[in-house]
Amino acid sequence: MTATPQTWTGRWVADRAGIALTGSERLPELVGLALRSGNPRRAHLLVSNVLGKHVPQQPSVVHGAGLELGRRVRELLGARAAGRAVVLGYAETATGLGHSVADGLDAPYLHSTRRPVPGMTPLGGFEEEHSHATSHLLLPADPALLAGDGPLVLVDDEFSTGRTVLNTIRDLHARHPRGHYVVVALVDLRSAADRRRLDEAAAELGVRLDLVATASGGVELPEDVVARAERLIAAEASGGVPAGVPGDVPGGVPVDVSGAAAPGAAVAPLVRVALDWPAGLPDGGRHGFTAHDRARLDAALPHLAGQLAEALPAGARRVLVLGFEELMYAPLRLAGALDERLGGDRVRFSTTTRSPVLAVDDPGYAIRTRLVFPAHDDPQDGGSPERYAYNVAPGSDPARRFDAVVLVVDDVADTPALHEGERALLGQLRRVTDRVALAVLPSHRPVPVPAARRAEAPPALPAPLYGPAFSSYPAEEVAWLLKDLSGVALEAPTEEREEAVQNGGAHYAESLPVEYQPSPEYQELFHQALRGSAGRIALAVGTVAETLLRERGPGLVLASLARAGTPVGILIRRWLAHAHGLSVPHYALSIVRGRGIDPVALRYLAAHHRAQDVVFVDGWTGKGAITRELADALTGTGFDPDLAVLADPGRCVRTYGTRDDFLIPSACLNSTVSGLVSRTVLRAGLIGPDDFHGAKHYVELAGSDVSAAFLEAVAARFDEVRAAAAEGADRLAADPHRAPDWAGWAAVERISAEYGIDNVNLVKPGVGETTRVLLRRVPWRILARRGAGADLDHVRLLAAQRGVQVEEVNGLPYTCVGLIHPRYSRGATGGDGRAVASDVGLGSGSVSGAGVGVVSDAATDAVSVSVPGRDS
């Protein structure tokens, strides 16, 4: 074993009991050694320095150790499998570690428990054979949490023999088989025989089993280690050195500081802190903890930390936040937030425990002092009536004394036994510090899922698609609730598609326009538009994101309407991460005019998230056809139909960045600004009743892909517009005219009548929708507000390429409006798709009495880009 410094907290045991650690050089940094008392199964205890159980540690170190393991698991699984994973932690020691791993993996979490809960029927259980308290219960509020077939990640502080993990896997695999298990631990100390046994069990079950650990090695134990430990414990109790144990090593002083205070000793004041704990937020993972719960806690922590800070004595330099047995994660996160509030490195974190351990006041021993107190949570599991708090009292080293202790318990444990009697925990804490603050969290009491639902098999749902296999976006940016149709020939010429759609022979979502590379001239227009509008778009993104955060809470889930809404969803997600440190889920799903939203995608969202947390996102509104389609499709589903958009010139939504009709450059292009994904497809024979709607991934267009460039250009402006975005959200909240008035729809009906068009679906208002008319439909006319400037440069270029008039109009409520050729037949255009007749016997007129003038009628090369087929 590598020579360890004199300060290694395992030296005392190693020298006296003959125990040695081998393997990773990091082991002495991570663990010390102590002797268990009252446990005939195992003599020694590995005492972690980063777990936050027995040794007070910086909360950032404790949480960070789990986060790093979670990120490593995510890398191991890949984004797709990670999105289906569930984390299971072990009580009591690893409940906080498991929570932190779930944070790093961004997965739902459950931990086992030794506390029976009235009204909760255990889903299962298993035995921890070496522990002082062996039985574990699994009490998820929703049994479906463990019923999926995604990877199950099991988290414990140490992996010594593998028996506990194997017991767990066998129990759960018999109920809900799955193909992949991942075991996570701070240290892996298995023997070769233990490794073989686990490998054989995995082969027997036919599963893949991986292990992720911070450090690995082994523990060398003499054959008589239990007897040696018993003699050491007896000798320390009497202050002597036992026979048969080397006597040339300086002895420590056994320190058990339980007992009454000396006469006249000062007793610190006790302050009760009434925390504003969010209603309904679980205090931990005993019954399950979701991404929504995590986001709610993240948002509440700064305020909660402020309440704790107010309870501390002025000038406190060393503060301990002490959790309670299985209640580790909430106190840990409170400790981290309090440390940030106080300025850093002033707070330590640990928890009480059921584990009886010998305390020896020696720098080379991991447990220097202990408080022994009666259990105060009315335990019903037949365990020991005593509980312990280690390294809380300073012992012989005054530098280890805490100025204040914040004790965090749940309301089940806030009993007279906590407060009354000379051995009560609060009484003992008040004798070892200057002030004790008590914070009581409401113990989560979930409503159990009805038995009928437990019997139901989870509905079969397809898995999302992720980049880079599908789309050029990174996997963490968006999960596509789509079916990959990349190998299917779906493209048809624009004129052929238009005739079929208008004649009722086909729906626009049954085929795709041909995707061509944009011309250099048009690409330059896109980049010019992006440079000129990135700040304006960033402000709209920030205004929407801040509004959603205030009104929907930090647990929101973004669901963008593919594909134009998807870059917007990614930008909102990036804003929330950049400005608030939130990591929110983001999905892209299909909606089709006349056919509704993808019902299988809705089922997927409902199975993984609360319906009320899902926010539907798009880029802009036109006349509001998709807004109405969305509202109709979501009636009775529990989903909120309030669509969030960057620009709402149609005045048909209540959550928007602006109601100005301005150019969002992503409207200029097609798949090459939308992750190389086509617009969505819904066609019988390709999309079955249990399939997501379809789309294609145009890998061959990667050379022209500007999807990342668009996102980066906008995100680069976030900092400069942050204050303005908050002000924009303030104005939106106070706007008395925020409610939709559907002025855009009324304008479209007026335009349709004045130009002799009897179908409002052929009138596409707004810059974004006009662009799409020019790129993927057969345009008839373009109406432009008189004096419109650079926002329409790309429209004028496209109109010239298609040989279409751009008519300047006074009083137009939009910057521009695109009119699709009415009563279309292929004879209305030339072979190259350019307009032959701008008038086919229909009325022409003006809007609000305005005159009409031709701005451009040049005919150049045919357009070389197409855009998704829908109207927002």
Across 408-417, 667-676, 830-839, the highest mean pLDDT is recorded for 408-417
pLDDT, residue 52, reads 95
pLDDT, tens only, 442-475: 998 886 555 544 444 445 688 899 999 999 999 8
35, pLDDT greater than 80:
yes
**Which residue, 51, 62, 39, is CA-closest to 128?**
39
**Which residue, 551, 594, 503, 585, is CA-closest to 826?**
503
Between 757 and 827, the more confident residue is 757
Beta strands (DSSP E) in 90-199 are 109-111, 124-127, 135-138, 152-159, 180-188
Q: Which of 469-483, 680-694, 853-867 has the lowest mean pLDDT?
A: 853-867
Distant-in-sequence, close-in-space partners of 117: CB < 8 Å, separation ≥ 6: 139, 286, 287, 445
Q: What angle do CA 225, 95, 30 make, to 5 degrees?
A: 50
Compute the mean pLDDT over every residue in the chain, rounded to the nearest whole number.
Answer: 82
pLDDT grade, residue 73 (50/70/90)? Answer: very high
**Stretch 468-489: mean pLDDT:** 93
Q: What distance in Å separates the CA atoms of residue 122 and residue 138, rounded to the nearest whole number? A: 5
Provide Rg for the chain, Cα atoms. 33
pLDDT grade, residue 4 (50/70/90)? Answer: very low
pLDDT, residue 241, reads 41
- Can you say whether residue 264 is alpha, beta or left, with left for phi > 0 and alpha for psi between -120 and 50 degrees? left
623, pLDDT greater than 90:
no
pLDDT grade, residue 209 (50/70/90)? Answer: very high
pLDDT, residue 38, reads 61
Q: For residue 563, say if its preceding peptide bond is cis, omega within 30 degrees of 0.
A: yes
Q: For residue 468, say if its preceding peptide bond is cis, omega within 30 degrees of 0.
A: yes
**Stretch 113-140: mean pLDDT:** 67
Sheet holding 270-273, edge to edge: 270-273, 436-441, 404-410, 319-323, 347-351
768, pLDDT greater than 70:
yes
pLDDT grade, residue 646 (50/70/90)? Answer: very high
Give the Å distances, CA to CA, from 132 to 114, 684, 769, 817. Answer: 12, 61, 68, 75
32, pLDDT greater than 80:
yes
142, pLDDT greater than 60:
yes
Local structure of 708: helix, strand or coil: helix
pLDDT, tens only, 725-754: 999 999 999 998 898 888 878 888 888 888
Q: Which two tokens stand for residue 542?
A: 């920030």
**Widest distance between CA atoms in the chain:** 114
Q: What distance in Å separates the CA atoms of residue 552 and residue 722, rounded to the nearest whole number? A: 19
Q: How many residues does the chain have?
A: 872
DSSP readout, 396-415?
Answer: T-GGG--SEEEEEEEGGG-S
Q: Which two tokens stand for residue 589?
A: 């799903």
pLDDT, residue 186, reads 95
Contact yes or no for 627/598 (Cβ under 8 A): no
pLDDT, residue 504, reads 53
30, pLDDT greater than 80:
yes
The one-letter code for the residue type at 401 is R
The one-letter code for the residue type at 804 is V
- Classify residue 733 by its DSSP letter: H
CB atoms within 10 A of CB 140: 24
Between 810 and 327, the more confident residue is 327
Q: Which two tokens stand for residue 228?
A: 């040696």
58, pLDDT greater than 90:
yes
Q: Provide the percentage of residues in the chain whose pLDDT is more than 70.
A: 83
**Which residue, 689, 401, 680, is CA-closest to 564?**
680
pLDDT, tens only, 252-296: 444 565 544 444 567 999 999 999 998 889 999 999 999 888 988
**Stretch 38-56: mean pLDDT:** 83
The one-letter code for the residue type at 137 is L
**Across the strands, what pairs with 388?**
353, 372
pLDDT, tens only, 788-837: 877 788 888 888 888 888 888 887 878 888 888 776 544 444 434 444 44
Phi, psi of 586 (to 5 degrees): -140, 125
Helix (H) or strand (E) holding 101: helix 95-105
